[in-house]
Structure 1
């Protein structure tokens, strides 16, 4: 199980702007990169459109378009990357997986959540979601440590 999350280059900026742009709806994006034994490294942000139906529930719910997920997976394979998971925003709640997030999540996967309630420095939290789907008896999500981007990491690209 991973313990740490790293972001390359300007990925944090791209992620923040992607999620913030969707407000007052929940924004979403795929997180692309690589994985070692205890560290996930996000190298690219794949912005997505929230396609949750009915649309009036989008301020509290999100859904990724399956076609976008397939395109991202195909793009990753050609670059020796993987889809690590997804990010979404909680415009009016904490950056903690909600019961709905837990129920609809297909693990194991990374889930990054941005809260609209917290100051920018504390708004982003990362979670490792265990295996399972649709069960209220799922294992508790494990919070990952988000490491600050290294000064040398990915300075040549914007991670978008």
Structure 2
């Protein structure tokens, strides 16, 4: 289970709507308590996906597929991850998850999402259709490296 405040979920919704039609992304900072995660802060980050990243992928899309861009991919710069990790360690927090949006696509993990996922993180996905919020769902990898849905609980 992962716990959010209403304001934190609203912040993620707004970030997704502002960046539409591109994917937004950010970090979920908080605490772990066994299998439960409590979000203390939502940290918006830049989607640093570039065409150079696409060019270096082993499985580039075929000519009949949508080209890879910020409209269907995201990445958080390694430097950003490192800086936030250092900062939250000093505050006795952890990076407990990553969120991103799926413009005009369901809030279910893509194959690419699974390929880049870390088993210790939650993955929150926001679905937008024509820029309007549809749903938000959270996922985490199981021991077989398959995504399983995680319950989102809103707390005061």
For structure 2, which runs of at least 5 residues remain unmatched after alignment?
53-67
- Mapped to 2, the partners of 1:129 and 1:20 lie a distance apart of 27
Contact 2:25 2:101 in 1 (8 A): yes
Find 2:35's aligned residue among 25, 33, 38.
38
- Mapped to 2, the partners of 1:86 and 1:41 lie a distance apart of 13
Q: Does the residue aligned with 1:84 lie in a helix, a strand or coil?
A: strand
Find 1:107's aligned residue among 119, 127, 133.
119
For structure 1, which runs of at least 5 residues remain unmatched after alignment?
132-137, 151-160
Q: Does the residue aligned with 2:47 lie in a helix, a strand or coil?
A: coil
Contact 1:9 1:43 in 2 (8 A): no
Q: Does the residue aligned with 1:124 lie in a helix, a strand or coil?
A: strand
Residues 67-86 of structure 1 correspond to what in structure 2 (within 5 A)? Answer: 67-86=79-98
Could you say which residue in structure 2 is the equivalent of 1:10? 7
- Asked if residue 60 in structure 1 is aligned to residue 72 in structure 2, the reply is yes
Query: Deviation string for 1:99-146 (max 9, x for gaps)?
Result: 1111122323110000013974x5100001246xxxxxx532111111
Q: Does the residue aligned with 2:129 lie in a helix, a strand or coil?
A: coil
Contact 1:126 1:144 in 2 (8 A): yes
Compute the displacement of 1:37 (Å).
1.2
Could you say which residue in structure 1 is the equivalent of 2:148? 142
Contact 2:5 2:154 in 1 (8 A): no
Contact 1:108 1:130 in 2 (8 A): no
